[in-house]
Amino acid sequence: MSRVDHITGHTWHGRKGDIENAFRYSIDYVLFDAESQPTAPRLFQRNRRGLASVQDRDHGGPPDQGRGALWVREVLAAHHLPSPARIELLAQPRVLGYVFNPVSFWLCYDAENALRTVIAEVNNTFGDRHSYLCHREDNGPITPEDHLHAGKIFHVSPFQPIAGHYEFRFDIRPDRIGIWIDFTAGNGGLIATLCGPRQALTTKSLLSAMVRRPLGARRVFGLIFWQALKLRLKGAIYRTRPEPPPIEVSR
pLDDT digits (tens, 9 = 90+) for 44-84: 999 999 999 999 999 999 989 999 999 999 999 999 999 99
180-184: Cβ within 8 A, 24+ apart: 181/103, 181/120, 183/152, 184/16
Strand 103-109 relative to strand 115-123, pairing: antiparallel
Residue 131: per-residue pLDDT: 98
DSSP SS3 for 238: coil
Residue 175: per-residue pLDDT: 97
Could you tell me the residue range of the domain that residue 8 belongs to?
2-250
Residues in a beta bridge with 7:
29, 198
Provide the Cα torsion 127, 190, 92, 72; round to 10°: 70
Cα–Cα distance for residue pair 3/27, rounded to 1 Å: 20
Residue 213: per-residue pLDDT: 84
Q: Kindly give, in sequence order, each residue whose CB lies less than 8 Å from that of residue 235, ignoring residues fewer than 6 positions away.
A: 19
Domain count for the chain:
1
Residue 31: per-residue pLDDT: 97
